[in-house]
């Protein structure tokens, strides 16, 4: 394990340059994330409309299950 640590210490790590190309890449990733979330939400709404899945309100999140003695 020490050999790996010494090999890793030979590399120089630095922060990325915060230029316009960096921010363009951040915006591209952000747009892709928003599109994926919107597609998942649309699929959920379509499946809910055609009763292929139950709405989240049917699952009773946040309520504690009662334990029978």
Per-residue pLDDT of the chain (69 residues; tens, 9 = 90+): 889 999 999 999 899 899 999 999 999 999 999 999 999 999 988 888 888 777 767 766 666 655 555
Q: What is the pLDDT of residue 69?
A: 53
Please state the three-class secondary structure of 1-63 as a single string: CHHHHHHHHCCCCCCCCCCHHHHHHHHHHHHHHHHHHHHHHHHHHHHHHCCCCCCHHHHCCCC
Q: How far apart are CA 69 and CA 44, in angstroms?
A: 38
The residues spanned by each domain of the chain are 19-53
Q: What is the pLDDT of residue 61?
A: 65
Whole-Å CA distances, 48 to 23, 37, 38, 55, 58 = 37, 16, 15, 6, 12
Q: What is the pLDDT of residue 18?
A: 93
Q: What is the pLDDT of residue 62?
A: 63
Q: What is the pLDDT of residue 68?
A: 57
């Amino acid at each position: 394990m020490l050999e790996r640590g010494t090999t890793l210490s030979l590399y120089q790590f630095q922060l990325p340059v915060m230029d316009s190309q960096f921010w363009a890449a951040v915006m591209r990733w952000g747009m892709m994330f928003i599109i994926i979330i919107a597609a998942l939400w649309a699929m959920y709404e379509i499946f809910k409309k055609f009763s292929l899945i139950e709405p989240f309100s049917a699952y009773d999140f946040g309520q504690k299950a009662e334990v029978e003695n």
